[in-house]
C-alpha cells in the first residue's frame, strides 16, 4: 500500500515554464515532508522540505505548497531549466526515526 501517492508519473515542460508535481497522503501522523531530486546513476538528494505548520516554503526557484486539510502537498519549479531534468520524489515521515515513505517518483524533462 502506497502511503504517499505522487502524480504525474512523467512531465515535459518547456524551458522557462513552471513544473508542478503533486503528492497526497492519508496518515495524519506524518509531520515532515521532504522532496528529493535524483539524477541518473546517483542517489536521491534533498531538495527542499516542509512541516505542516506552514503552508508554503520557498527556496530559490523551488516552492513547496502544503494543504493540511486536504492532506496534499506539491512542488513548484519556477523558470524550469534543462538542468532540472531529473526524477523527483516526495516523501513523508513521522517523528519515530528516520523512516521515510516515498512517492513513486516523477520523471521531469525540461525541453530547451
Q: Considering the complex, what minimum distance in angstroms separates the CB of residue 104 from other proteins?
A: 4
Q: Considering the complex, what minimum distance in angstroms separates the CB of residue 96 from other proteins?
A: 7
Nearer to other proteins, 44 or 62 (CB): 44
Q: Considering the complex, what minimum distance in angstroms separates the CB of residue 112 from other proteins?
A: 26
Backbone angles phi, psi at 52, to 5 degrees: -75, 0
Q: Considering the complex, what minimum distance in angstroms separates the CB of residue 24 from other proteins?
A: 14
Nearer to other proteins, 69 or 99 (CB): 99
* Spatial separation of the C-alpha atoms in residues 109 and 71, rounded to whole Å: 27
Nearer to other proteins, 2 or 55 (CB): 2
Q: What residues contact residue 26 under an 8 Å CB cut-off, 6+ apart?
A: 3, 71
Enter the C-alpha cell of residue 49. Answer: 522540505
Helix (H, G, I), strand (E, B), or coil: what is residue 106?
A: strand
* Spatial separation of the C-alpha atoms in residues 45 and 66, rounded to whole Å: 21
Beta bridge mates, 17: none
Residues lying near other proteins in the complex (CB under 8 A) are found at 2, 6, 31-32, 34, 36, 41-46, 49, 89, 91, 93, 95-105
Amino acid at each position: 500500500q502506497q502511503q504517499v501517492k505522487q502524480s504525474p508519473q512523467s512531465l515535459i515542460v518547456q524551458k522557462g515554464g513552471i513544473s508542478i508535481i503533486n503528492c497526497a497522503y492519508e496518515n495524519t501522523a506524518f509531520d515532515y515532508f521532504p522532496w528529493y531530486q535524483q539524477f541518473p546513476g546517483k542517489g536521491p538528494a534533498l531538495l527542499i522540505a516542509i512541516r505542516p505548520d506552514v503552508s508554503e516554503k520557498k527556496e530559490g526557484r523551488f516552492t513547496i505548497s502544503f494543504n493540511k486539510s486536504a492532506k496534499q502537498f506539491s512542488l513548484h519549479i519556477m523558470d524550469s531549466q534543462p538542468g532540472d531534468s531529473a526524477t523527483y520524489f516526495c516523501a513523508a515521515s513521522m517523528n519515530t526515526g528516520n523512516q521515510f515513505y516515498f512517492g513513486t517518483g516523477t520523471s521531469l524533462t525540461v525541453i530547451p
